[in-house]
Amino acid sequence: VMDMEHELRALRVQLAEKSKHSLLLQKELARSKRVKENLSHLYELDGAEVLGSYLRIKPCSDIAPELSKCAIQWYRISSEGGKKELISGAHKSVYAPEPFDVGRILQVEIIYDGQLIMLTTTGAIDPAAGLGNYVEALVRKHDVEFNVCFVTQMNGVDQPSESIHVLHVGKMRMKLCKGKATIAKEYYSGLMQLCGVRGGGNAAAQALFWQAKKEFSVVLAFESERDRNAAIMLARRFAFDCNIMLAGPDDRASLGT
């Protein structure tokens, strides 16, 4: 009988400890839910969900942590199947959709102090009105010139230059010129990369990143969003005719090439 009483007492102690532990877990779960609910209302995506615009993470609460203290990563999600693709290098609070994003949903993850906040566009990114027809007209030409207002970066180094450059997009190659001088001239190849700039401020929608070869890359700012997107679409079209998938960093893997 004494042994049974000892066992019962021990069981009661264990039960009390488990009950206490369960209560603590319930409190922690409730606190975690409250934190997540609060976090989801700290930010929103601001901007038109169309090619030619830019999206910005906008704080909508006084208690929202500074975005400079957060880790940010943008993704594109296919509207059919929901495949999620990381957009390499898109770590800024601003992202300007590029032609690959048309027809896809964009999502951004914000991490602060171990907590994850996800913001998603209300729908897929819409194409820019009239851009497709404009590019189709340009395809008939052998070489198309686009005025570049700024070369903002060269090989990752910021450039102060405001002089006009010209980007030539041809059927076999691309060329960047300043006056009569040729800065870069390369045939389409598997080493070449081209995409919308992944970050930056309000001018992101007018800028692209071009890696002509491993040793040379530039960020170019155009006169308009239309020129930037037309240059990307045209170059990709010509490159495709040369059996080259022209994309941004790490895009080829996610595009299944």
Q: Over the stretch 193-204, which tens digit does the pLDDT of each residue have?
A: 999 999 777 789
| Listed range (77-81, 132-136, 216-220, 249-253) with the worst mean pLDDT | 249-253
| Listed range (26-40, 65-79, 89-103, 159-173) with the worst mean pLDDT | 26-40
Cα 107 to Cα 131: distance, rounded to the nearest angstrom: 24
Residue 80 burial by Cβ neighbours in a 10 Å radius (0-12, 13-18, 19+): exposed
Domain boundaries defined on the chain = 1-39, 43-120, 131-254
Task: Tell which wins on pLDDT, 252 or 209.
Answer: 209
Which residues contact residue 216 at a Cβ distance below 8 angstroms, ignoring those fewer than 6 apart? 154, 155, 184
Task: Report helix, strand or coil for 82.
Answer: coil
Closest CA to 113 of 63, 74, 73, 65: 65
Give pLDDT, residue 137.
Answer: 96
- For all residues of the chain together, what is the average pLDDT? 89
Cα 170 to Cα 188: distance, rounded to the nearest angstrom: 10
- Would you tell me how many other CB atoms lie within 10 Å of the CB of residue 101? 21
Band (pLDDT 50/70/90 cuts) for residue 3 is: confident
Using CA atoms, how far residue 80 sits from 83, 106, 136, 191, 195, in Å, is 8, 13, 26, 30, 23
Give pLDDT, residue 257.
Answer: 43
What is the pLDDT averaged over residues 243-251? 92
Asked whether this chain's domains 43-120 and 131-254 adopt the same fold, the reply is no
pLDDT more than 90, % of the chain: 66
Residue 77 burial by Cβ neighbours in a 10 Å radius (0-12, 13-18, 19+): middle
- Selecting from 3.40.50.300, 2.60.40.2700, 2.40.110.10, 2.60.40.10, what CATH number does the domain 43-120 have? 2.60.40.2700
Cα 109 to Cα 115: distance, rounded to the nearest angstrom: 10
Give pLDDT, residue 161.
Answer: 64
**Residue 191 DSSP one-character state:** T
Phi-psi map region of 243: left, alpha, beta (phi>0 left; psi -120 to 50 alpha): left
Cα 198 to Cα 98: distance, rounded to the nearest angstrom: 9
| Listed range (35-49, 102-116, 192-206) with the worst mean pLDDT | 35-49
Long-range contacts formed by 80-89: CB under 8 A, 24+ apart: 85/251, 85/254, 85/255, 86/250, 86/254, 87/198, 87/248, 88/198, 88/248, 88/249, 88/250, 88/251, 89/198, 89/199, 89/248, 89/249
Q: What is the pLDDT of residues 210-237, one digit of tens each?
A: 999 989 999 999 999 999 999 999 999 9
What is the pLDDT averaged over residues 105-134? 95
Topology annotation, domain 131-254: PH-domain like (2.30.29)
Cα 11 to Cα 3: distance, rounded to the nearest angstrom: 12
